[in-house]
Structure 1
Amino acid sequence: MIQRRYLQLDVFADRPGAGNPLGVVVDAHGLDTAGMQALAAWLNLSETVFFQPRGGYGADYHVRIFTPKGELPFAGHPSVGAAWAALELDLVNPQNRQPGATTVDLVQQCGAGLLPVRVSVVDGVRRIAVRTPRAVHRHDVPTPTWLLAPTVFGAARGSLAPVLYNNGPDWWLLELASEAALRALEPDLARIAQLPGKGKLALFARCQDQPYALAVRAFAPGVGVAEDPVTGSANGAIAAYLHASGSLPGQEGRYVASQGRELGRDGVVQLHVDHEDEVWIGGQVQPVIQGQLVW
């Protein structure tokens, strides 16, 4: 048994108890893939990250990301949380980290490769944004007939067609006609679990007269997560789809999404599609647990 530093963070959260919980195992030496998977399953959070020895290639830190049922090449809230932990615990020493600096650039190594990270401090609040892997529209997979129906799980679809996007994980994306319908939705998780792409469906709706432009819910029963509180990869895929379809909300490629309210988590995700058509996801991180694991 080895004592390992452990953090639990709330990501995409402006206060503890909001956003998406993340497990962070700082000292993962001696844990093989099976050991990390077993620990992630025991912690039973939607994702847990394990810090690895840096592999070079210009990365500031290296993580592996696990759900209770498997490893992911990329996931949004683990990437945002990992960057926060790396800075908070002085696991990185970026060259441009100067006293009083308001921005710091990092590079994360994960299963999806090297991802740029931008850390900014505004009014004393640290915000972290990660550039997602470029999303790809998977035209090779036929859309299940039930996703094309006028109503899905009793809710009217929006104007955009359902699609499958991949930005590390696969996500089926489905627009609903109203925020109210999305908030009240009671999906058939067994049907979602059978979707090609490991059974994941992200639904979104446009919002009026709200501080956020989109409301989002994400269901991933195929990987052991019935409903994810706040999902960076799904939000990133949605932003890429909206940009490709010419229907991105907000101004200058920036908007805010709300996710997790139905689970009592009320997370906030900041989205940005930059001038190179790259998608950035970001938000705040709150520490809630710090201690030791014996594993």
Structure 2
Amino acid sequence: MLPFRQVDVFSATPWLGNPLAVVHDADDVSDEEMARFARWTNLSETTFLCAPTDDRADYRVRIWTTGGELPFAGHPTIGSAHAWLEAGGVPRGDVVVQECGAGLVDVRRSPGLGFAAPALRRSGPVEADLRSRVLTALGVDEPAVRNMAWIDNGPGWIGVDLGSADAVVDVVPDVAAFTDLKVTVLGRWDAGRAADLGADIEVRAFYADGRDFGEDPVTGSANAGLAQWLIGTGALPPSYTSRQGSVIGREGRVRIVSEGDEVWVHGDAVTRILGEVDL
């Protein structure tokens, strides 16, 4: 039996964030067992905490979706760091250093848990034929799009700026057209609504693998990529809060802070289930 936690990430209010399954002491768990358990949890991600292979890291994390392993993802980074610290992990320095498929990721503990967004693996304009596919999948016309770009930091996201938050909420995706796309959209709330909501922008993230389609409740990697892209162009301020998941019954909050060349992605993490698992 291995220690197990299920963590609610990006919300301090119970059951409104993005759940993450975390298995501790997973060095002897095989890839097949990891994949099987991730399929069984049926969550967007399940992580397995292992001893680091890099001397600079505090722990190593394996991040699995129901369809396979990811090199990096945002809510698993914050949730895994929370679980590791709660289980008694003591970082060697001022920040927690996570080793994952994308390399080393710094996770700071104040103000609240937050990770330094890894460098984008792919950025820049989206090819014309792919852009057309994205528009069809989102069910929006070209004039509705303020900007579109690759913001791939591991999962393969394409970012779409729809200008207004209302336009984001109104998106009705064409599930059949998504096939293998991973698309995240954002828009801005006006000052009055932003004050009421405690959020400046609205974000949604859709993904498909050719078999399954879903809308992610709250997505750290997508929010990181959007921030790196749009803060860099001046289209978003250096710090803001995004809301995600409202259309599917969640109320996640992601706090973005740009400091120099780094973008930090912060969010709450609370353990909701604690126990053991027999893999």
Q: TM-score, normalised by structure 1?
A: 0.85
The alignment's C-alpha RMSD in Å is: 2.2
* SS in structure 2 of the partner of residue 162 of structure 1: strand
Q: Which among 101, 120, 123 is matched to residue 111 of structure 1?
A: 101
Task: For residue 193 of structure 1, report the CA deviation from its aligned partner.
Answer: 2.3
Cα deviation 1:75-103 (Å, max 9, x = unaligned): 0000001111111001x22245xxxxxxx
Q: Which amino acid in structure 1 is aligned with residue 173 of structure 2?
A: P
More deviation, 53-62/217-226: 217-226
Residue of structure 1 in register with 2:276 after alignment: 292
- Residue 262 in structure 1 maps to residue 261 in structure 2: no
Q: Which among 172, 180, 184 is matched to residue 202 of structure 1?
A: 184
Residue of structure 1 in register with 2:57 after alignment: 59
8 Å CA contact 2:72–2:100 kept in 1: the answer is yes
Unaligned runs of 5+ in 1: 97-103, 122-126
Q: Which amino acid in structure 2 is aligned with residue 292 of structure 1?
A: E
CA shift in 2, pair 1:32/1:145, >3 Å: same
Residue of structure 1 in register with 2:168 after alignment: 182
- Which has the larger share of helix? 2
CA distance in 1 between counterparts of 2:137 and 2:102 reads 35
* SS in structure 1 of the partner of residue 3 of structure 2: strand
CA shift in 2, pair 1:56/1:220, >3 Å: same
8 Å CA contact 2:2–2:24 kept in 1: the answer is yes
8 Å CA contact 1:62–1:108 kept in 2: the answer is yes
* SS in structure 2 of the partner of residue 215 of structure 1: strand
8 Å CA contact 2:218–2:245 kept in 1: the answer is yes
Task: For residue 248 of structure 1, report the CA deviation from its aligned partner.
Answer: 1.7
Q: TM-score, normalised by structure 2?
A: 0.90
8 Å CA contact 2:62–2:101 kept in 1: the answer is yes
Where do residues 159-178 of structure 1 align in structure 2 (5 Å cutoff)?
Answer: 160-178=146-164
8 Å CA contact 2:126–2:149 kept in 1: the answer is no
Unaligned runs of 5+ in 2: none
Task: For residue 148 of structure 1, report the CA deviation from its aligned partner.
Answer: 7.6
CA distance in 2 between counterparts of 1:114 and 1:105 reads 12
Task: For residue 177 of structure 1, report the CA deviation from its aligned partner.
Answer: 3.5
Residue of structure 2 in register with 1:100 after alignment: none
